């Protein structure tokens, strides 16, 4: 009998039912496998499931069978046994029964095909992902008790973990990713194997590591999994800045456990990748800036050092340039709002908005979440300070369009008035005009032209004369 929660998979508009007909008519076996089976059993987010299939058909045969069915077919993974196809906006992957083993010095798996689904399932990452549903009858093939591990919320490898992690060392990081995203617990044998095999992660491409890390970080509460990555030694091989945050506590100069604080901040922030990366890296400069002073421990300029370190690490992990830029800017600015206690002028508020740009909401959230003190009075003071800053930004924005800070004249008008050609000097005067806007607030085009005229005379340009529209007739 088919469980009620799986009946939707027989819907005639879904790929499982459609491909079951295509492959059975051709005399080939086909099974639904992987995350879509697991998530269907768990009842998780069924609308956005990605369907993966395993089949007895070899890749050339798969391509031949799906071409009449699909809107488009992708062969990029064919050498690894996978043909992807897209129909009605949904992409599926169909992979020939296989086993794969990484060579010691290679990032590319050596793929061999098998002739049965049981062998294929044995080479998958975890038992909860090693359950197949035969099509079209949806009978469960579960040789490694994945259903039991789902019930026990346990993360266990189908074969010995040394074999599973040897097949694909990225599975060691995926172990913690599933811990974060599913709330399951790694079993002791898997954790022990990670401790012994962590260095094998170094044969994995930065892009694949990046993608697993991103999925982990955007889970609801990643801290326990992040701690597992550090304690297992896995972080040493792709994110060594993290274990360095577990600085030894000096008995005479108490300071926070920076690693525990960092993970607490990550959990508090919204599950936005840029914000979570910034939370993970916001104090990464502290180990290199720690100094012991009579008044306690200091970390002067750790935000400057940290921004540089964040940029280097994210580049090594092949994050897109915009992510690298945004995260490093958030790390660089995360202490700025704390100077509000010294009193901010309107120009300081304008400069904060200008420097934060589109990141201002993320920055304010990061600053709020950075408060992990048990001292409730101190927390209330800091949160009130951010409330005050946001209120001032809102007031000034209503008066001055802070989000669009710019001088009252543009570069073309400056060049036309001063008789200048395009070049660095135009950028120089435009920066002066923008700084005046930040310092003084809104001002008129006539005042801007007066600034340009004075600057031009200082630079040795000819006197440009009266600004446009001001010459008396």
CA dist 277 and 305 (Å) reads 16
Q: Chain centroid to CA 54: how far?
A: 30
Query: What pLDDT shows up at residue 1?
Result: 54
Cis peptide before 136 (omega within 30 of 0): yes
- What six digits make up the tokens of 124? 């998958």
* CB of 173 closer than 8 Å to CB of 186: no
Highest mean pLDDT among 49-53, 295-299, 309-313, 391-395: 309-313
Q: What pLDDT, on the 0 to 100 scale, is given for residue 472?
A: 45
Here the tokens at position 335 are: 């202490």
Assign 469 a pLDDT band (cuts: 50, 70, 90): low
- The domain limits of the chain are 1-148, 153-239, 245-254+266-404, 411-458
Annotation: CATH topology of 1-148 = Beta Polymerase; domain 2 (3.30.460)
Q: What's the whole-number average pLDDT of the chain? A: 89
Are 117 and 97 contacting, i.e. CB atoms less than 8 angstroms apart? yes
Confidence of residue 470 (pLDDT cuts 50, 70, 90): low
Mean pLDDT of 20-47: 90
**Mean pLDDT to the nearest integer, 257-266:** 93
Among 15, 114, 122, 31, residue whose Cα is nearest residue 71: 15
Q: The tokens of 237 are what?
A: 């091989």
* Helices 273-281, 206-217: inter-axial angle, 10-degree rounding: 100
Nearest to 38 by CA among 159, 127, 165: 127
CA dihedral 85, 91, 92, 98 (to 10 degrees): 70
Distances (CA, A) of 310 to 105, 285, 304, 331: 29, 9, 10, 8
pLDDT at 154 over 90: yes
Architecture per CATH, domain 153-239, reads as Orthogonal Bundle (1.10)
B/e letters for 189-223, b = 16+ CB within 10 Å, e = fewer, are ebbebbeebbebbebbeeebbbbbbbbbbbbeebb
Helix (H) or strand (E) run with residue 241 in it: helix 241-244
Neighbours of 31 (CB within 10 A): 26
Ranges 28-37, 116-125, 398-407, 437-446: which has the least confidence = 398-407
For residue 396, name the pLDDT band (cuts at 50, 70, 90). Answer: confident
pLDDT tens digits, one per residue of 338-394: 777 667 888 888 888 888 989 999 999 999 999 887 778 888 888 888 888 888 888
Question: pLDDT tens, 294-305?
Answer: 777 778 889 999
pLDDT one-digit tens code per residue, 232-253: 999 999 999 999 998 755 444 4
Residue position matching structure tokens 């035969």: 134
pTM of the model: 0.83
* pLDDT on residue 163: 93
* Phi, psi (rounded to 5 degrees) for 245: -70, -15
* pLDDT for res 250: 45
What pLDDT shows up at residue 100?
Answer: 74
Compare 104 and 203 and report the one with higher pLDDT.
203
State the pLDDT at residue 103.
Answer: 63
């Amino acid at each position: 009998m088919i469980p009620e929660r799986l009946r939707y998979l027989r819907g005639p508009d879904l790929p499982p039912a459609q491909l079951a007909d295509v492959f059975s008519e051709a005399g080939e076996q086909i099974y639904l496998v992987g995350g879509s089976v697991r998530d269907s059993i768990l009842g998780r987010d069924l609308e956005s499931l990605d369907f993966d299939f395993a089949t007895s058909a070899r890749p050339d045969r798969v391509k031949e069978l799906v071409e009449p069915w699909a809107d488009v077919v992708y062969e990029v993974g064919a050498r690894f046994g996978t043909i992807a196809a897209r129909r009605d906006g949904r992409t599926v992957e169909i992979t020939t029964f296989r086993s794969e083993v990484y060579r010691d010095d290679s990032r590319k798996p050596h793929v061999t095909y098998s002739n049965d689904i049981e062998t294929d399932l044995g080479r998958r990452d975890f038992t909860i992902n090693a359950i197949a549903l035969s099509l079209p009858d949806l009978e469960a093939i579960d040789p490694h008790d994945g259903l039991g591990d789902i019930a026990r919320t346990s993360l266990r490898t189908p074969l010995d973990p040394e074999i599973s992690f040897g097949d694909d060392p990225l599975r060691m990081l995926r172990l913690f990713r599933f811990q974060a995203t599913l709330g399951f617990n790694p079993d002791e044998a898997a954790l022990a194997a990670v401790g012994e095999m962590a260095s094998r992660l170094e044969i994995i491409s930065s892009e694949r590591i990046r993608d697993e890390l991103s999925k982990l970080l955007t889970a609801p509460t990643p801290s326990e999994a992040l701690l597992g990555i550090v304690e297992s030694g896995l972080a040493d091989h792709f994110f060594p800045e993290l274990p360095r945050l577990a600085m030894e506590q000096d008995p005479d100069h108490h300071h926070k456990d920076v690693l525990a604080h960092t993970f607490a901040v990550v959990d508090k922030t919204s599950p936005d990748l840029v914000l979570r990366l910034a939370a993970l890296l916001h104090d990464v400069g502290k180990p290199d800036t720690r100094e012991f002073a009579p008044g306690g421990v200091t970390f002067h300029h750790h935000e400057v050092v940290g921004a540089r370190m964040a940029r280097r690490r994210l580049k090594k992990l092949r994050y897109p340039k915009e992510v690298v830029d945004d995260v490093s800017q958030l790390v660089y600015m995360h202490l700025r709002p704390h100077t509000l206690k010294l009193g901010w002028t309107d120009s300081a508020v304008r400069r904060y908005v200008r420097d934060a740009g589109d990141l201002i909401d993320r920055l304010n959230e990061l600053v709020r979440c950075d408060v992990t003190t048990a001292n409730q009075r101190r927390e209330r003071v800091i949160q009130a300070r951010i409330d005050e800053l946001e209120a001032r930004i809102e007031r000034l924005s209503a008066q001055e369009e802070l989000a669009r800070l710019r001088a009252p004249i543009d570069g073309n008008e400056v060049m036309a008035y001063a008789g200048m050609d395009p070049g660095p000097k135009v950028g120089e005067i435009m920066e002066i005009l923008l700084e005046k806007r930040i310092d003084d607030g809104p001002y008129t085009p006539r005042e801007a032209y007066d600034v340009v005229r004075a600057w031009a005379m200082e630079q040795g340009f000819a006197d440009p004369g009266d600004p446009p529209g001001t010459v008396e007739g």
